[in-house]
Chain A
Amino acid sequence: MKTWFLNHSKVFRRTSQILSFLFLMSIPFLNKQGLDWFVGTLYSIDILGWTIADPAMILQMVLLGQPLLWTLVLAVSIPIILALIFGRIFCSWMCPYNFLAELLYKLRRFVFPRKIKRNKNPARNLQWVILSSIFLLIIVTGVPLIVFLSMPGLMTAEMTDIVFAGGLGLELLLVAGVLLLDTLIFKRVWCKYLCPVGLTLSLFKTPWTLKVTSQSTECAHCDAVKEHTCNQACPLDLNPRRPKHLYPSCYNCLDCVNSCHEHGGALDVSIGWPHKIKNTKKEIN
């Protein structure tokens, strides 16, 4: 079952991304027709009457000095439970910004193939420094910055504004700017280092959370051709062979595990209590 899933995870993921993209973008059109089964944006969304809110937005609200109502605790419970069990899968399986960025970055890679064969993982804790500076800035200035830094929020909100007000907002320029810089100039730094929505979800990562594990002893196939397929598969240019520095940047898209299954199977996923694996040799960098 697990192997079957991992062998097909990429198809499932793309399907999930496309469906959630279409779903989110169609909400305002349905609302315009008077159908209110689904209401809202990725700041907060109502699905058949159940309210879901972005934990980053609610955290911001609390930091600005507003009380955390129990309805809001319920509203953030589903994203938080998902993050506790599966990590940042919202980013990789649902986020409309990541969907577009992935496609655009793929296009860039297609036109300008990469020369680097091995990816580097981000410096440790840099993301936490960035996230805490964002929240500190919010507390000090009182400006709700997450509103403008939440790309999925801005994209869905702009769709609503276009349908209801008919005008294009300048926020779209912000999204387009970030998207183009992120994919064509930089190498996906937004999702890896900067996005407060994804990083807030990362706060809920525990040792039991779904994660990619690696056993470098099984890498012979890729070592022989000196090109590790997991490094090529990663949409964020991370190195899944070094799981220690993978998180919180890795958003558990599982593309690396998917690609590895055809080449030796050194990568795997683990969820729940981390049990010792039979062969605990030191990882090769």
Chain B
Amino acid sequence: MLLNLLQNLANIRHPLRPPGAVSEQEFNEKCIRCRKCEEVCPYDAIQMTDFSWSSKTGTPIITPKKVPCYLCDDLPCIDVCPTGALAPVKDRAEIAMGIAKIDESLCFAYNGILCRACYERCPVYGEAITLKDELYPVVHEDKCVGCGICESVCPVEPIAIIVESAHEVNS
């Protein structure tokens, strides 16, 4: 049936949701597409999915390559969400939007060029990304919040460190 096809189409890709997002299935039922998170995001990091996302059209998505989540102190996106699709978090370390993955074949550091861009800019400094032998960045999945700042500062083309959404990691 056409509507089931729409549902399947929507589940092919895994959107990186804003901080505090509940599990993907629950999120799509709770999110009422009101755009408030998009409107209050001070960095315009939150944008809305387009029609190609079929039944998930109009839900918030973060594209770190454009603008990552800078993890505001007050997290206005969570504050403004009326339905609890973005649920309150106790502190920033609790956020689990996704997990950064390093492609060592692309990463400068692993290929003999000195680079610490992701390590230095990581907001969970010294915990989510550490340097092995003072040289090679390593992501610690239990600490990484998935904000995507590392992805946005990575100088390699194509980007060597990419955030996978929590939804993708869990599926």
Contact = CB atoms under 8 A, between A and B. Distances in A.
Do A and B interact with each other, yes or no? yes
Interface of A: 27-28, 31, 34, 36, 39-41, 43-46, 51, 53-54, 57-58, 60-61, 64-66, 69, 71-72, 75, 137, 141-144, 147-148, 153, 156-157, 160-161, 164-165, 167, 169-171
A110 to B, nearest CB: 34
Nearest to B66: A165
Given A39-B39, A71-B82, A169 B51 contact: yes
B121 interface: no
11 contacts: A36-B40, A43-B32, A44-B34, A46-B80, A57-B33, A61-B32, A160-B48, A161-B47, A167-B50, A169-B50, A170-B50
B32 A58 contact: yes
Contacts of A156: 35
B7 interface: yes
A141 B34 contact: no
Interface in B40-90: 40, 42, 44, 47-48, 50-51, 55, 57-58, 76, 80, 82-84
B50 to A, nearest CB: 6
Contacts, number: 114
B40 A147 contact: no
Closest 10 CB pairs of A and B: A44-B34, A170-B51, A31-B39, A64-B29, A141-B3, A43-B34, A160-B35, A57-B32, A40-B36, A143-B55
Nearest to B81: A44
Contacts of A28: 35, 39
A59 to B, nearest CB: 11
B49 to A, nearest CB: 10
Given A61-B29, A66-B83, 10 more contacts: A40-B80, A41-B34, A53-B32, A141-B1, A144-B55, A147-B58, A156-B35, A157-B34, A161-B47, A170-B51
A28 B35 CA distance: 10
B26 interface: yes
B92 interface: no
A2 B25 CA distance: 51
A53 B83 CA distance: 9
Contact of A144 (B28, B42, B48, B84): B28
Given A157-B58, A169-B50, A40 B33 contact: no
Contacts of A161: 35, 38, 47-48, 58
Given A39-B36, A141-B1, A65 B29 contact: yes
